[in-house]
């Protein structure tokens, strides 16, 4: 072919048309996972890759497929690769929930919106006012993206209807950043709870006395809880499946804003929870390779509940067996 302006412009037009058709067809491909499911996307962590070792491998992200609901939750670092690895087609996403504006929860939010918007269908974006102010999703995607009808649902205490029949109740959590939420999702027979990142204690005992959540920072060492947050407990103890972001085994300074294994035990004992999925708890170890698995075994023994720990490669739970 002669390389002149006319021929190159013609090829350019053909290439653009083919690319547009290819992107538009993305949502027609089925997930590799059959039926209704929760797909926990696992970790972006490879011990041999130095850049991965440079940050804590706590990256969040899971996908709920239930009939016509396709909900992506907390798209953290490298969501695309992790979704592809486990068999989720992000083109099919019709809802995105962002619990808070930390990079391990919102890093790939704009990418998910970019991919999902190509199917031209209505897209539900669920995030708090504070998270949007932190630009978890760029204004262009919300205000100027004409390829999709993006329905912005700002999180508050009000329930949100998804796919015209399912109810998502945002739950305000206690974390180190304002505008942090979990949720209870009622799928007309299956209730899924997600804690997001949160502390669960109202008052702590320290070596210098007591610390009340919300007051100025405390001095001394953290010794343990004095008063549990029973409001959050009552919410998350009454779901069928609990997705719990577990951070530490025992209480420490970060327990003001993060959970411990003892918090989880307190929530699970005498609860209605049929399955607890522990995410955010690092399944890797620099020293004791069985430590993280042993923590989960400890919680199982104390709570007598079925608990799964999300490993690097992720985890799939089929939902139909939980339907009433």
**Average pLDDT, stretch 62-70?**
96
Q: How far, CA to CA in Å, does 293 sit from each of 145, 247, 290, 308? A: 44, 13, 5, 10
Q: How far, CA to CA in Å, does 307 sit from each of 48, 95, 234, 268? A: 29, 27, 19, 10
Q: How far, CA to CA in Å, does 27 sit from each of 37, 40, 102, 118, 183? A: 18, 20, 28, 8, 26
Total domain count, the chain: 1
By mean pLDDT, which of 6-10, 43-47, 98-102, 227-231 is the weakest? 43-47
Contact 167, 160 (CB under 8 A): yes
- CATH code of the domain in which 158 resides: 3.60.15.10
- Nearest C-alpha neighbor of 283 from the set 311, 260, 316: 311
> Quick check: is 302 in a domain?
yes
> Quick check: is 270 in a domain?
yes
DSSP code, position 141: I
> Quick check: is 174 in a domain?
yes
By mean pLDDT, which of 80-89, 201-210, 302-311 is the weakest? 201-210
DSSP string covering 169-206: EEEE---SSSS-EEEEEE-SS-EEEE--S---EEEEEE
**Average pLDDT, stretch 52-74?**
83
With cut-offs at 50, 70 and 90, classify the pLDDT of residue 151.
confident
By mean pLDDT, which of 63-77, 112-126, 283-297 is the weakest? 283-297
**At 127, is the secondary structure helix, strand, or coil?**
strand
CA–CA separation, 44 and 2 (whole Å): 46
> Quick check: is 188 in a domain?
yes
For the cut 70, the answer to whether the pLDDT of residue 145 exceeds it is: no
- The tens digit of pLDDT for each residue in 86-139 reads 999 999 999 999 999 998 899 999 999 988 877 667 789 999 999 999 999 988
- Please list the helix, strand and coil fractions of the chain in percent, rounded to the nearest 5, in that order: 30, 25, 45
**At 74, is the secondary structure helix, strand, or coil?**
coil
Q: Which residue has the higher pLDDT, 289 or 245?
A: 245
Neighbours of 141 (CB within 10 A): 19
**Cβ contacts of residue 316 below 8 Å, gap of 6+?**
33, 37, 38, 39, 40, 86, 87
Q: What is the pTM of this model?
A: 0.92
> Quick check: is 263 in a domain?
yes
CA atoms within a 13 Å half-sphere pointing along the CA-CB vector of 106: 22
Q: Which residue has the higher pLDDT, 100 or 254?
A: 100
pLDDT confidence of residue 21 = 86
For the cut 60, the answer to whether the pLDDT of residue 305 exceeds it is: yes
Q: CA 43, 313, 63 angle in degrees (round to 5)?
A: 75
DSSP code, position 242: E
CA–CA separation, 79 and 41 (whole Å): 8
With cut-offs at 50, 70 and 90, classify the pLDDT of residue 4.
confident
pLDDT confidence of residue 214 = 74
Q: Which phi and psi (to 5°) does residue 132 adopt?
A: -70, -35
> Quick check: is 1 in a domain?
no
Here the tokens at position 99 are 């619990």
CA–CA separation, 130 and 140 (whole Å): 17
The rounded Cα 21 to chain-centroid distance in angstroms is: 31
CA–CA separation, 180 and 198 (whole Å): 8
Per the structure, the complete domain to which residue 262 belongs is given by 35-319
> Quick check: is 4 in a domain?
no
Q: Name the strand (E) or helix (H) holding 18.
A: helix 5-24
CA–CA separation, 271 and 237 (whole Å): 5
Contact 89, 314 (CB under 8 A): no
């Amino acid at each position: 072919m002669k390389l002149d302006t006319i021929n190159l412009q013609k090829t350019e037009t053909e290439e653009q048309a083919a690319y547009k058709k290819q992107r538009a067809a993305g949502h027609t491909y089925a997930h590799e996972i059959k039926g209704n499911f929760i797909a926990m996307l696992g970790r972006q962590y490879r011990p041999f890759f130095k850049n991965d070792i440079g940050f804590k491998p706590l990256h969040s992200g899971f996908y709920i497929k239930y009939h016509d609901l396709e909900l992506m939750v907390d798209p953290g670092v490298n969501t695309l690769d992790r979704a592809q690895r486990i068999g989720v087609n992000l083109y099919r996403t019709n809802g995105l929930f962002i619990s808070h504006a930390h990079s391990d929860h919102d890093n790939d939010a704009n990418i998910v919106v970019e991919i999902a918007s190509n199917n031209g269908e209505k897209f539900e974006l669920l995030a708090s006012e504070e998270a949007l102010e932190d630009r978890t999703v760029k204004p262009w995607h919300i205000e100027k993206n004409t390829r999709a009808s993006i329905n912005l649902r700002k999180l508050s205490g009000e329930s949100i209807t998804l796919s015209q029949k399912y109810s998502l109740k945002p739950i305000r959590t206690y974390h180190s950043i304002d505008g942090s939420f979990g949720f209870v999702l009622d799928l007309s027979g299956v209730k899924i709870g997600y804690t997001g990142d949160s502390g669960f204690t109202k008052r702590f005992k320290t070596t210098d006395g007591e610390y009340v959540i919300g007051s100025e920072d405390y001095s001394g060492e953290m010794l343990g809880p004095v008063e549990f947050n029973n409001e959050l407990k009552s919410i998350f103890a009454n779901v069928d499946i609990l997705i719990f972001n577990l951070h530490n085994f025992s209480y420490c300074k970060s327990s003001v804003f993060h959970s411990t294994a003892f918090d989880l035990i307190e929530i699970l004992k005498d609860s209605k929870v049929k399955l607890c999925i522990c995410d955010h708890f690092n399944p890797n170890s620099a020293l004791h390779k069985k430590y993280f698995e042993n923590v989960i075994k400890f919680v199982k023994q104390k709570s007598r509940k079925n608990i799964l720990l999300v490993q690097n490669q992720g985890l799939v739970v089929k939902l139909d067996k939980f339907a009433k």
